Amino acid sequence: MGGLKSWLAGRPPRAFALALLALAAALAVVVGLEAGLVGGHGVTAAASPDAPPSTTAAASSPGGPLVTPMPSDTPAPTASPAPAPTPTPAAPTAPPLPALLGAIGDSYSQAYSVSPAYLRDHTQFSWVIGTAKGDGVYSLAERFIALGGSPKLVDAATSGRKMNDAPRQAAAVVAAAGKLSPGQTAYVTFELGTNDLCDDPKTDPASFESDLHSAISILRAGLPAGSRILMLSVPDFSHLRDITQANPKAKAYLALPRNSNACAPFLGDNSPSTLAEAETYLRQYEASLAQACDDISAAGSTSGKLYCTSNESLLSVGDFIIADLSTVDYLHPSLSGQNRLADAAWAAGVWGSVPLPPGAAALAPAGGAIAAAPSITGSAMAFGLIGFRTARRLRVARPRRVLS
């Protein structure tokens, strides 16, 4: 201390001040080092033998020591990739609208005696070709028109006729189709066979099948490529029997002696055939119709020449109520029955999924040019083949193809 005093004594005041500053700085450094050793800040801590092997101390930060994870055998989780969007399936594409709509059939296609005010044929109310306004029947023709089509209507159907008239009717439709422009197609409803079943003697099944094949051959040879047939079967007369027998007025009407032959033995009771025998005829007719449609599908659909569509579960008068039968005879459809047939036939066809404009039925034209085949008169009871079979009548379930 004495040496320092003697050193300062010989120095000016300025040197004395600088010496004090240097001494203070040295003391500050010493104090700082001591604090670091005590508090552990500012240095790297050695790993303790008891410390977990997965961590080490890191440089200090304002929030305290950082912890660095050690490598692990478990892969770090990664974000799941977003699922690829599911492509929206394309809406089914319906074929072009037909340029010709032809009816092969009998009184069901002719809207025969739909009410006491409209006895006999009134095709303006037909489920196929009807074009009357405000009748409550939204026909196939009116639906095609609502979609922008303008099909030529060919009415070859004739009340009271059997399958032996099918070749003539088919030839009439083919003759009209021959006048179509290249690329245009026809749509033909085929609903014959009820009179074969309802009249006595009933048509021999072999003759029924032969006449059917002749008509189909004519259609195959003469319709334009891409044309379609809607093949219908026979009405569910068991159901019609049920609903007429359950209705007192209908039951009393059919019990009158003059009506005993009405599609006997299903509705009337004057027939040489029993119900079981009549059902056998029915099944044989239906088998022929089903096979004919399958043959068309097998031979023509693959090449695009001709298509045949049938849908037994949909095309069934099993949903008819008594109001769907005309009070004239309780055999033919009323106006509501004609509309029910049109609904079923439209749904069964390839255009059934195409939305129809709202209110289009009310906008249908009040009439139209209908090319009619020559009328044929006769005393046979006029029944039309609607083309329907329900599961209750099926003895053996037979799958059917619906090709579009």
Q: Per-domain residue ranges for the chain?
A: 100-237+274-393
pLDDT of 119-141, one tens digit each?
999 999 999 999 999 999 999 99
Contact of 128 with 122, CB cutoff 8 Å: no
Residue 70: per-residue pLDDT: 44
pLDDT of 310: 84
Torsion of CA 57, 61, 67, 71, to 10 degrees: -90
pLDDT at 172 (0 to 100): 98
Q: In this model, does residue 52 exceed pLDDT 60?
A: no
To the nearest whole number, what is the mean pLDDT of the chain? 77
Could you report how far apart the first and last alpha carbons of the chain are, in Å? 119
Statement: residue 3 has pLDDT above 90 = no
Place of tokens 């209110």: 359
Q: What is the pLDDT of residue 82?
A: 55
Strand partners, 370: 153
Provide the whole-model pTM: 0.70
The length of the chain is 404
Over residues 162-188, mean pLDDT? 98
Nearest partner of 101 among 139, 67, 74, judged by Cα: 139
pLDDT number for residue 373? 52
CA dihedral of 202, 204, 207, 212, whole degrees rounded to 10: 60
Least trusted range by pLDDT, from 99-108, 184-193, 350-359, 387-396:
387-396
Residue 163: Cβ-neighbour burial (10 angstroms; 0-12, 13-18, 19+)? buried
Pick the CATH number of 100-237+274-393 from 3.40.50.720, 3.40.50.1110, 3.40.1480.10, 3.40.50.12780: 3.40.50.1110
Sign of CA dihedral 191, 322, 246, 315: positive
pLDDT of residue 313: 65
Quick check: 322 and 245 in contact, CB under 8 A?
no
